[in-house]
A and B are shown apart, each in its own frame.
Chain A
Amino acid sequence: MAMGVDPSYLSNLSSSLDRVQANQQQLTAELSSGVSINSLSQNPVASGENVLLLNQIQQDDSFTESSTMVQGKLQVADSALGSVVSQLTQAISLATSANNGTMNPSDVKSISNQIAGVLDEVQTLANSSYQGQYIFAGGQTSATPFTTSSATSPGVTAYNGDEDVNYLEMPNGQKIQLNVPGNQIFSAGGSNNVFAALNSLVADYSSGTVDTPQAVSDTQALSTALNYVSQQRVTIDNSITQLTAASNATSTEQTQLTSAQTNLMQADVAQVSTQLSLSETQQTALEDVIAELGSASNDLFSKLQ
């Protein structure tokens, strides 16, 4: 008996045909989904990498959203401080005109009222809120941070917030300051207390007569406090600048990562189509071979007479 020939070679050919069809199914799935990795085992390392890339992309995306939200708040703070600066400048100019000794008592009283108006305005600005939360209150964002009592003369403006400073952490761990507590801006220690200076000036001019050395000294104090407010505003401006830069960098990174993730997971249509076409050719060839070899005329018995 002859060795080396498997009489069931046709069944081997049909299992080859099965494999070719399975391959086609896989390629078709890649083409229709546009994704080259439909199961982990196709490329375990890329599947793991995909998790990390998506994680980074989502973090970047979320940071960009948060930074938009935070920028709104910082801009409200910046614009409020801008208005405070102009209000204070106006108050200084009012005080300076009252200090030159040429005004009659009723004009001086009027100056006192105007500075009281400025005080009110500055307090309103210091009580600015963003989306229902007070922005110069430290952590106590649900309570009005500044209230003024006129029970004494000069009046006293109290700070009800705290010293809490919030930060936004970027995906890379860098921290961006989100707020400056109100007491640090408006009622800091020493000569940097805006409200104390304003309250003093209101009191200085309220009687119509001016104690000039005292009024000059208080005006000087307000001027110092104004400079201090401007310095604190720089912190806010720096945060805005930092945030814009970080947000741009993050967007750029996100674009790069998205492109890397797409390259990792996306099917190469040209390549897959070529493979599919090759596979179809192979299928046709196998079918022809099976049809040819499977026909009865290839059997020796059919030749016997």
Chain B
Amino acid sequence: MGTISSAFSSMSQALDADQSALNIVANNVANANTPGYTEETPNWQENQPLVIDGVSYGAGVAETGPTSIRDSVLNQRLDQQQQLASASTARLAALNTVQALFTPDSGSSASTAGDIGSDLTSFFNSFSSLEANPADSSLREEVLSSAGILAGDISNAAASLDTQQSALDQEAAGVASQVNALTGSLAQLNQQIESTSPDADAGTLQDQRQQDLSQLSQLIGVNQVTTQDNGLSITTTSGQLLVSGNENFQLTTGSVGGATHFFVGTTDITSQLASGGGQLGGYLTARDVDIPSVLGSLDQLAYGVSTQVNDLNNTGTDLDGNTGNASNPDASPLYIFNQPTQVAGSAAAMSVVMTDPNQIAAAAGPTANDPNPGTGDNSNAVAIAKLASTAIVNGQLPSEFYSNLVTTLGSTVSAVQTENTAQNASVTQLQTQNNSLSEVNLNDEASAMTMLERSYQAASQVFTMLNTIMASALNLGEQATVS
């Protein structure tokens, strides 16, 4: 009798186990679209066998609860790749806005920063034209008007870059509060996980922690270290502690030299964050590296052209026979452009200060042999026009320098684009791997449900048969009293 009873017991346990497994399947299906939910699988465990008269009998099955199907290494790789991809996406967006300023000139006459190359040529060409007739007032007007277009395009480009830089600064500052919210939530989850499930997977709590970590990875570059009791310490990629156990360290912002800097405590971690990854890394790289580099080149261009043209004009003689302060200390300088005192800021400040076209010094300055070169002399115009083919900007010709500027900018954008495409592809690949492992697959759930249903039916059937057998055993030798 003992063994039939134990068979009964095995079957009732099997029915319980199947029900509990069906519950897990139902929960999977219910959470199929919950972000961050990790598919759970029932754990089956064979019960301790019964030993009756020295013979061992199987004692059925137990379902010991769900286990989340997760691969923490895969998750970590996905997070890291996400940090890289987010950084290059944010940087690319900023760079695309920058390069939109320098749309290649197709030769049309519209005045934009992309035309700076043409503006330079037109400006120096206006001096070449002046060679033909240095006293002609319309040619002189042309010099000032082309100087105005050149200065306008350069200073507008500098102003736009400045605006973009401030916009990036604001976006970057906005990231800090999101980071703090996430690190706060992570610290809280750490505490719950450590208290409820120090030794095993914490299921949905761990799902939430992973979800927060994925979001954090989109914002900044982080490293994660698993600690005792299933806790997680989180640092920036350069090692600054953000979350330790149930404690989180706030990211604060402050203005340093007009730009937003980021601190943990009193430590300035701005440059670490810039190279660390995540959206913030991208914003900071664009703000602190990419835009300053373009702006710096424009400054060099503006400085080189303004000072060289001004210096030459100041040494010559204008149409009214006046000279600048190069040869006459009492005179005012004959400057065409606002004379910059230093390279930085030259582009933004570039403007035409000369209003009277007669002040353009087409004639050479006075010399001992020729104290008055006359209004027909064009030698200074020749000299200024020649600046177009002189290495006056950082050792390069002005047009060559601008050509290099656009090539360098274009190459940077193109390189970041390629990098971003590759990183996104890698994220997609890892995401696919992770999804195929951890995401709820409804077809799998349907088949699991069918299998569990079948196994439940089988157990019921066995139970019924056992019932019949039991009845036979009870009625042994008797006329059917029990059915």
Binding site for B on A (CB under 8 A): 1-8, 12, 15, 33, 35, 37-45, 47-52, 54-55, 57-59, 61-63, 65-67, 69-70, 73, 131-134, 137-143, 161-164, 166-169, 173, 178-179, 261, 265, 299-301, 303-304
A7 near B441 with CB under 8 A, answer yes
Chain A residues positioned under 8 Å from B105 (CB to CB): 50-51, 54
| Contact indicator per residue, chain B 374-412, by CB within 8 Å of chain A (1) or not (0) | 111111001001101100000000011011101111110
Residues A299 and B374 in contact in the complex (CB < 8 Å), given A4-B436, A40-B104, A55-B399? no
What's the minimum C-beta distance from B100 to chain A, rounded to whole angstroms? 7
A1 near B69 with CB under 8 A, answer yes
Report how far A42 CA is from B100 CA in the complex, Å.
Answer: 12
How many A-B contacts at CB < 8 Å in the complex? 219
Chain A residues positioned under 8 Å from B410 (CB to CB): 39-45, 47-48
A141 near B117 with CB under 8 A, answer no
Report how far A133 CA is from B135 CA in the complex, Å.
Answer: 8
A265 near B122 with CB under 8 A, answer no
Q: Which residue of A lies closest to B122 (CB)?
A: A58
B129 near A55 with CB under 8 A, answer no
Report how far A3 CA is from B437 CA in the complex, Å.
Answer: 6
Binding site for A on B (CB under 8 A): 39, 41, 69, 95-96, 99-100, 102-107, 117-118, 120-122, 125, 128-129, 131-136, 363, 370, 372-379, 382, 385-386, 388-389, 399-400, 402-404, 406-411, 413-414, 417, 428, 431-433, 435-437, 439-447, 449-450
A6 near B436 with CB under 8 A, answer yes
Residues A47 and B441 in contact in the complex (CB < 8 Å), given A59-B121, A140-B374? no
Chain B interface main SS type: helix
A54 near B439 with CB under 8 A, answer no
Q: Residue B128 contacts which of A6, A66, A142, A304 (CB distance < 8 angstroms)? A: A66
What's the minimum C-beta distance from B104 to chain A, rounded to whole angstroms? 5
Residues A162 and B374 in contact in the complex (CB < 8 Å), given A44-B410, A70-B132, A142-B135? yes
What's the minimum C-beta distance from B85 to chain A, rounded to whole angstroms? 13
What's the minimum C-beta distance from A95 to chain B, rounded to whole angstroms? 34
Q: Residue A54 contacts which of B117, B131, B372 (CB distance < 8 angstroms)? A: B117
A131 near B136 with CB under 8 A, answer yes
Residues A48 and B404 in contact in the complex (CB < 8 Å), given A41-B417, A54-B105, A164-B374? yes
Chain B residues positioned under 8 Å from A132 (CB to CB): 135
A300 near B120 with CB under 8 A, answer no
What's the minimum C-beta distance from A260 to chain B, rounded to whole angstroms? 12
Report how far A154 CA is from B64 CA in the complex, Å.
Answer: 135
Report how far A167 CA is from B406 CA in the complex, Å.
Answer: 34
Q: Which residue of B lies closest to A301 (CB)?
A: B446
Chain B residues positioned under 8 Å from A50 (CB to CB): 104-105
Chain B residues positioned under 8 Å from A35 (CB to CB): 104, 106
B441 near A5 with CB under 8 A, answer yes
Residues A162 and B446 in contact in the complex (CB < 8 Å), given A7-B436, A55-B399, A70-B132? no
B385 near A169 with CB under 8 A, answer yes
Q: Which residue of B lies closest to A140 (CB)?
A: B374
Chain A residues positioned under 8 Å from B378 (CB to CB): 166-167, 178
Residues A39 and B96 in contact in the complex (CB < 8 Å), given A6-B432, A65-B129? yes
Q: Which residue of A lies closest to B69 (CB)?
A: A1
B413 near A141 with CB under 8 A, answer no
Q: Which residue of A lies closest to B373 (CB)?
A: A139
B131 near A169 with CB under 8 A, answer yes
Query: Can you list 21 A-B contacts with CB-CB less than 8 angstroms, sorted by A residue number?
Result: A7-B436, A41-B414, A44-B407, A51-B105, A51-B399, A51-B403, A54-B121, A55-B118, A55-B399, A66-B128, A69-B129, A131-B133, A137-B376, A139-B377, A164-B373, A168-B128, A168-B132, A169-B386, A179-B376, A299-B446, A301-B442
Chain B residues positioned under 8 Å from A54 (CB to CB): 105, 107, 117-118, 121
B125 near A59 with CB under 8 A, answer yes
Chain B residues positioned under 8 Å from A169 (CB to CB): 128, 131, 382, 385-386
What's the minimum C-beta distance from B479 to chain A, rounded to whole angstroms? 44
B446 near A40 with CB under 8 A, answer no
Report how far A134 CA is from B41 CA in the complex, Å.
Answer: 101
Report how far A43 CA is from B444 CA in the complex, Å.
Answer: 48
